[in-house]
A = this chain, B = another copy of it.
């Protein structure tokens, strides 16, 4: 496994791989790799011949007062985990390599960021779209794999890739969960044992929502009310949003008369957690990727 830290070397490496006729897979991460990330690597490995994982805590997707400085970093452990998964290259640039003093170009989407997390994090998705466009131009992948845990990020990147004609297959991989259902996230490391118990209410409220849809309830507000009550009954929880929305546009749906995404963001203590599931009125709720 090779570790590359400059844009120029990464582009030269990508060119040399492509000249050999090999396909490149990219898994962009902010590091602190967990089983969720590893499953994305395995998916990319299956689809491509040369696997690149980027590790970069991207400053432009953190707002003022968010956890950029506190974000957990563990490069040595990440490198060992990546190597074990058969990763060919880790691309790990320093901040000044990607953002020079003169930097002024952003990729912005007009609609998708106006929903869900974009409301309380108004510059977040501009930062995400921009850094992913940069990584696409640096790593030159054929396929890039993203987790559906960050569902809004996934649909944003898929839309950006279509709109800017990136010749890259965008894959969304199902959320990987702890054995009790908590969606895996690097931010789970912030949680105290008591907060960890409260954090499970996100998953439980999604499962409760699924049951309600299965029982024939089509009214989003009833499902959202039930989820709110469940989450608020746990300590240290503060709901940012609970939304039932169109899986592509993220526009809210009052009536669940077709597949919908139920997505939520909850602060547990100081830690902001997100989760989502597909609601399908004909089958109940599912995490199965074929349903997306």
Decide: A165 and B106 in contact? CB cutoff 8 A: no
A107 touches B109 (CB 8 A): no
Select one of B7, B137, B160, B167 contacting A105, CB under 8 A: B160
Q: How far is the CA of A105 from the CA of B128 in the complex (A)?
A: 13
In contact, A165 and B7 (Cβ under 8 angstroms)? yes
* CB contact under 8 A between A105 and B134, given known A7-B165, A21-B19, A165-B7: no
Interface check A102, CB cutoff 8 A: yes
Give the contacts of A82-115 with B (CB-CB under 8 A): 98, 100, 102-112
Residues of the B chain whose Cβ atoms lie less than 8 Å from the Cβ of A19: 21
| Contact of A129 with B by CB under 8 A | yes
Copies of the polypeptide in the assembly: 2
Report yes or no: A167 in contact with B104, Cβ–Cβ below 8 A.
Answer: no
A38 CB–B CB distance under 8 Å: no
Is A163 an interface residue when CB atoms closer than 8 A count as contact? Answer: yes
Cross-chain contact B164 with A134 (CB below 8 angstroms): yes
Question: A108, A109, A165 — which one has the most chain B CB atoms within 10 A of its CB?
Answer: A165
Q: Does A272 interact with chain B (Cβ within 8 Å)?
A: no
Closest chain B residue, CB of each to CB of A133: B164
Please give me the residue from chain B that is nearest to A107 by CB atom. Answer: B107
Complex interface residues of chain A between 143 and 202 (CB less than 8 A to chain B): 159-160, 162-167
A207 within 8 Å of B (CB atoms): no
Given A21-B19, A134-B164, A137-B167, A110-B106 contact (CB < 8 Å): yes
Please judge, given known A-B contacts A18-B18, A19-B21, A21-B19, whether A163 and B108 are in contact too, CB under 8 Å: no
Q: Is A120 an interface residue (CB 8 A)?
A: no
Query: Are the CB atoms of B105 and A164 closer together than 8 Å?
Result: yes
A138 within 8 A of B: yes
Interface flags for A210-248 (1: CB within 8 Å of B; 0: not) read 000000000000000000000000000000000000000
Q: Say yes or no: A108-B106 contact (C-beta < 8 A), given A19-B21, A21-B19, A133-B164.
A: yes
